[in-house]
Structure formats: C-alpha cells, structure tokens
Structure 1
Amino acid sequence: MMALRLFHYPLPILFVALIFFTIPFLNFFATAALYDLSQRWDHVFDRIQPLQYFLSALSLVIAYGLIAKKKFGYYLFLLFSIVLASYNLWMVAWVSLGKKLFLAGIRLQTPDIIWNAVFTAVILGAIFYFLRKEISAPYLSGLQRGWRGGYRETHPVPFHWTNVDGEREGDGYTINVSGSGALIPLPQHHFLKEGDPINLHLKLENEKREIIPISVKGTIVRLDREADGTDLAGITYEFQVAQKEEKEEFLKFLTRVFAPRYPVSNKIEAGKNLPGESTGELVNISTEGLYIKSDTVYEMGELISVKILTRSGPIFLKGIVRWSNPNARYGKPVGYGLQIESAENMNHFRIWVWKQRFRIFHGR
C-alpha cells in the first residue's frame, strides 16, 4: 500500500527524499575510499568526523519528514543547508587567509575548496527551489497530511458540483481554494473516486460585493476522510482556452481574498451592533480580512463590529463573517473569520497592518 501511495508523490519530493536517505551511506563509502579502508569496514566509523555524523543523522530525519509530509522535514532541511553552507564558507575564508586545510593527510587546494562551495550552493539552491515549489502546492497543505509553505487561508466559497454525466451533485463551501485547485467537502454516498472528472460552479464576490459565477471543469486528484467521517475531495482545475476572462476574474478574486496575512495576538471586542458583546484575540490580520479566536462564534453572513486594541489606540472595523468555526477545524482555534467591509480610519488601519509585517514579536 505504501509503495502504491508513493506513485502519488511529486517526483521532486521523492527525488530529494531519496538523496537525503542515501547521504549516510554515501558518507560511509566515501570515507572508506578516502582512507583506503575497503577491507577494514569496522575502522571507517573511527574516521568519520562529528559533523559528518550530525549531517548523516539529520539527513535521515529530513528524508522521513518529506515522505511523511511533516513540517519539520522542511525546516530541518533549512538547518542542514545552513550548517553545510556555513562550513563551506568557513573553509573558503580559512584558506583565503593563507591557512592550510588537510583531509586524510592531503592538503586541500584553494580552487578545489571554492569549487566545492559553489557546487554545494547550486545543489542546495536547486533542492530549495523545487521543495518550495511543491510545498506551496496541494502536496503539503494545511491539513493533517502536511503543510503549505505559501500562506493559504481557509476560505469558504459557495459552490455546486456535478459529476460528468450530471447524475450526482452537491453543494457547500470550499475549504481551501488556490489558482490551480480547491479542497471541498462531499456529501455521504457521493460515489466519487480519484481520477473522476467533475464540474465545479463557484460563486465569487468582486470588490463591489457582486456575485460572479465561475464554472470550471476539474479532476479529483485526492480523496481524504476527516475524523468525523466527512469526505474531502482535492480538485485540480482545467480552465479551457475560451475561459480566459473567467480565469482572470478568478485570479483577481484570489489576489484580493488572499492578501498577505500576518500573525498577531491583539485583544479585541466584538458585537453585532457595537463592540463589547464578546471578547477575543486576533490570530492573523490582513487588509482584507482577519481571524478571531473567541468562545463566542458568530454565524456566517452576520455583520460584526470589531474594536482592536493597539498601543496606538483602538481600531474600529466592520466585517462580514465568512467562516464560522465552532469546532476548531483545519488547524484554527475556535472562532470566526471576517471579511472586512469598512474601517473608521482606513489609512490608520492599513498602516497598522503594514507595520505587522516587520515585527519580530507580534502582538499589541
């Protein structure tokens, strides 16, 4: 079963994971060849340096993290790269000062050290590029099966789906949407399977809050099941050539709703008429929306007044509840997401949001 699942992994992920899995073995045999210990394998371990042990162990953990779709796998790769790059920079700097470096009794020449540093940088840069490309795609999403590098906020877009022959259909709200696909909940007894074509009808809102219907054909690339038994379908879009305007409108919508969000922890007051009906804490904020952690969860579609407490004074906003999350689903605490409708002082609010981008410790 695991072997079959590997066929669904992106090739760059599998290739990079294989590279890191083989590093300890390559390290062992390279050391044996360097010291001519092909007949005395038990002596090889005495020749391996502490840094080599560290990087070998780290590479195995990285390989596991990538295959298991864990966040730490990517972060440890970054650590691996920093350590290896720093070591190469140290060697270049050392020989540049006229110092000598030896390996197995042989002096390392400056051109060889520089060439090795450049080669290492190119390889690590290529791995970084392809990993970032994949972790920003559905492979590593915000669900339990992994994570997503590019920030992707859960966003509910009303949709209606039908299968290719129109015999089965369903309605709901998307969980995640992107420029290439969507994650949607399915009703019971949907009888869909991976590889099935599907017709997706989305209802988007433009800047004027006007509904713009978008219809797109797609293919089911993944089916998951949550702990509560809800089936989820990962869909990849297949916009046709004649749908150029629809696709552009869709991408404009995504650009607006997925404005960069920044983690914050400011206290807030909220209410249907005036702030003060409930309290909570901001989780993230953008110029287009925010997520509030609160024991009081408002219903979708309600207009809410919010007072954000900041050191420079309170900020008053009004927003429409676009996501009600009383069960703490999809990696978010109990609370609700707002789409911002207006601000008492929009310029003040935008400047405050912009400042969050440069904070090391986010908060008030």
Structure 2
Amino acid sequence: MTLRFFNYPIPVLLVTLGFFAVPFLNFFAIATLYDLDLEHFSMILSRIQPWQYVLSALSAIIAYGLIAKKKFGYYLFLIFSFLILTYNVWMVLSVTLGKKIFLAGIRIHTSDVIWNMVTTTLLLGIVFYFLRREIAAPYLSGKRRGWRTKYRETHPIPFHWTNADGEREGDGQTINISRNGILIPIPAHHFLKVGDPINLLLKLEKENREPVSISVQAKIVRIDEESDGSEIAGVQLFFPINQREEKQIYETFLARVFAPRYPVSNPVNFSGKNNQMNQGTLLNVSLEGLYIETSAVLEQDQICTVKIQTRSGEISVGGVVRWSNPQGKYGKPSGFGIQIDSIENKNLFRVWIWKQRFKLFHGR
C-alpha cells in the first residue's frame, strides 16, 4: 500500500499523528506523575494501569485505520470519541456538583476541568469534521479513493480523447465534472493505465447555448471497474498558462452547471416528443435544471415539458434532456436530468426556488 501524505487533508494527518502519539504521551505522563526518570523504563511500565494499556493499543489501531483509510478505523474513531466525550461531560458535571474525582490517585482540580472542557470542545469539532461527507467518503467507499477537495456534479459533456502518441482514441460523455477533474467511461481494450497523459476535447456550451469546444491536457489518476464489467477513469485536468481563455470558458461553464441544487420531492407530469404524459417525482431543482425520478425515462436530447405540482400552484418548464439514466447509475435513481430553457411562470418558479433555499428540512 502506497501512502501519499500530501494527498491527505491536514486535519486528518494531525488527528492520526495525535492517536499515534497517545502511547508515548501515556508513558511520559506516568513518568512525570510519579517523578520517575526515563531510565527507569520497567518501573514506569509497572505504574501504567491496564486500562491505559488498552487505551494505547486502541489509539495505535485507530491511527493505522485512519491513515490506511480503513472503515474499521473510521468507526473505531467515532466510537472512541463518543466515549471520551461522554466521560468528559460526566467529569465536568460531577466536579460542578461538588463531587471529588481522582485519576491515578491524584485529585482533579477545577483547572483540570477547564482544560477538559477545552479538549471536549476541540474533540467535538474534530468529530463533526470527520462526519462531513467528503471526509468520510474514502473510509466508507467500496472502492479505494482519496479525498475530493473540489465540488463535483453529475453532468454529461461530450468529449473525445487521444493518448499521448495519438494511436488510441475514444468518445463518450462525462459522468461527473469538477474544476480540476472529470470522470469518464472508457472502452474495452483501451490500454490506458494510471499516470498516462491524454489529450481531451471537451464540447461545452456558452451562456447563450452556443456550442464551444476546448482542448485540455489531462492525466489518468484512477481506473475503476463497474459492476457490469465496464471501466471508468478519473481524469485530472491541466490548464497551462497559455490556455487562460480555455480555462475561463470551462470555469464559466461550471459556474452555470454548479448552480445551487435543492432537494425536493414534488410530483411532476412530463411529456416528450410523442406528447404522451408521464408521471414522476422531482428529486432536485436549480435555476438551470432539474432531475426527475421515473420509470418512463426520456432519451437524451429530447425536448420535453414538465409540470411541477407545488403548494402555490403548477409550474410549467420546458427544456432538453441532457442526461438519461434508465439504469439508475452513479448514486441516482432511474430518471433523467433536464436543462431548463423556458419557464411559463417565472416569478412563481423563482419564489418556489427561494423557499427551497431556506428550508431547514427537506422531504429527501
């Protein structure tokens, strides 16, 4: 297993180092507590209580699990943190109520409790940090992956790739995109491997929907096999200094694609090119597009009309199917994504979007 420390978030590294340090801190703390020189190694070890040995061993296991991105390490960390938090809260309450508490025969004073409260607050912050989806993902994912620092969105962009010598090439549509990378399907017998440079031609759209293509240098950073045997590749994008215009076009496109999306659960009626009315459930919506869960999935590039049922009335929007997902891949249920081109009642739609923005709890 190769560990690339520069790919780890700094808080994760600091917490891991903290757990690695627990056995050593435990040793030095006992030596200081009983005023023993470090040369008296066996005497110090004899003063360490059994529960302190357990704490040291558990800390070392957690540290290994965190640095190796193991699921057991993540869950052990959360359980351990919960126990420490519970103990700290109990200690603070007990001392506040006048109860005397002793640790290794030494009475705990008010100043110790204050430090305990500081530690508890810090530990709470660390726990909430590790509960964030982007931090927990490498531990809980079934595939080996790292941390993603950039926001990404499921969005199909037509692309064409060639390898460095131009002997192999392929076409397709992106699975998801971010500011510094994309996830793409790759054909069988592609002969690509992690670390290979490739050239990408991305077919984007300007704000007025006018098509524009940009050429981007890229590198394969990971290759995963899907359940159906097909393969997908994670690609890192590079924009040299002489490609400022291409970078600006790409970032402007992303700004529109990354328009804030809000989870909803509204019934919708929609029709495609045959004008047949179908039903579905609206799962998320933004000012630029929406995603509908349904078994009657429309094909890509179809023009469609969607009628959204809200408490304030029906909202009718028109658009183009940009992503058809009949098999329910990539973490989304069976359905399709629409790029909105027209809104029949714009004011009602904007007010409804505004309400979703300030909802504390959503149906989904």
Shift of 1:106: 2.8
Amino acid at match of 1:202: L
Label 1:325 to 1:133 Cα distance change in 2 as closer, same or farther (>3 A): closer
**1:291 counterpart residue number:** 291
Shift of 1:362: 1.8
Give the secondary-structure state (helix, strand or coil) at the position aligned to 1:309: strand
Label 1:248 to 1:179 Cα distance change in 2 as closer, same or farther (>3 A): same
Label 1:242 to 1:193 Cα distance change in 2 as closer, same or farther (>3 A): same
Mapped contact 1:16–1:127 kept (Cα < 8 A): no
- Indicate the structure (1 or 2) with the bigger Cα radius of gyration: 2
**1:38 counterpart residue number:** 45
**2:303 counterpart residue number:** 303
Q: Distance in 2 between matches of 1:274 and 1:184?
A: 31
Superposition CA RMSD, Å: 4.4
Amino acid at match of 1:10: N
Mapped contact 2:219–2:236 kept (Cα < 8 A): yes
Aligned pairs, how many?
A: 352
Establish whether residue 15 from structure 1 lines up as the match of residue 13 from structure 2.
Answer: yes
Shift of 1:108: 3.6
Amino acid at match of 1:103: L
Mapped contact 1:269–1:275 kept (Cα < 8 A): no
Q: Distance in 2 between matches of 1:115 and 1:233?
A: 48
**1:233 counterpart residue number:** 233
Q: Distance in 1 between matches of 2:352 and 2:79?
A: 33
- 1:131-184 deviations in whole A, cap 9, x for unaligned? 979749x96899855686876331100111111111111111001111011111
Mapped contact 1:142–1:330 kept (Cα < 8 A): no
TM-score (norm 1): 0.77
Q: Distance in 2 between matches of 1:140 and 1:289?
A: 32
Establish whether residue 166 from structure 1 lines up as the match of residue 163 from structure 2.
Answer: no
TM-score (norm 2): 0.77
Amino acid at match of 1:11: Y
Label 1:354 to 1:294 Cα distance change in 2 as closer, same or farther (>3 A): same
Q: Distance in 1 between matches of 2:70 and 2:338?
A: 30
Shift of 1:97: 8.9
**1:361 counterpart residue number:** 361
Percent sequence identity over aligned pairs = 52
**2:317 counterpart residue number:** 317
Mapped contact 1:142–1:148 kept (Cα < 8 A): no
Greater CA drift, 205-214 or 117-126: 117-126
Amino acid at match of 2:196: D
Which consecutive residues of structure 2, in runs of 5 or more, have no partner in the other structure? 35-42
Q: Distance in 1 between matches of 2:166 and 2:328?
A: 34
Shift of 1:340: 1.2
Label 1:26 to 1:299 Cα distance change in 2 as closer, same or farther (>3 A): farther
